[in-house]
Amino acid sequence: MNYNVRLIPSAREDFNKLDGRERLIVAKKLKRLSSNPFLGQKLGKRAGIDLTRYFKLYADKKRLRIVYRCIGDQVDIEIIAIGPREGLEVYRKAEKRKSEK
């Protein structure tokens, strides 16, 4: 079964800012995610950032993180943020974007 993977507009910008090699790697991860929405690891509350019910997926030998959530009865996948882990910045971006559609 394949699931719909959708990038919110800010996550689409994150994706477009990646270099060509990184985009290819992330696109492959998103394709894998479309067949298994629980491929990533659960996130929670950490360092004042609440991403309960969200998941992280590693890409590019753990250099990049893809933060997403599963929504709806048919399990659609919504990508919230893509970026390097450095300084937890990708998680901070994800928390700010939780309400973005």
pLDDT-based confidence at 7, cuts 50/70/90? very high
Q: Where are the domains of the chain?
A: 5-97
DSSP state letters, the chain: ----EEE-HHHHHHHHHS-HHHHHHHHHHHHHHTT-TT-SEE--EETTEE-TT-EEEEETTTTEEEEEEEETTTTEEEEEEEEE-GGGHHHHHHHHHTT--
The reported pLDDT for the residue numbered 86 is 86
Q: What global pTM score does this model have?
A: 0.92
CATH architecture, range 5-97: 2-Layer Sandwich (3.30)
Average pLDDT over every residue of 78-95: 93
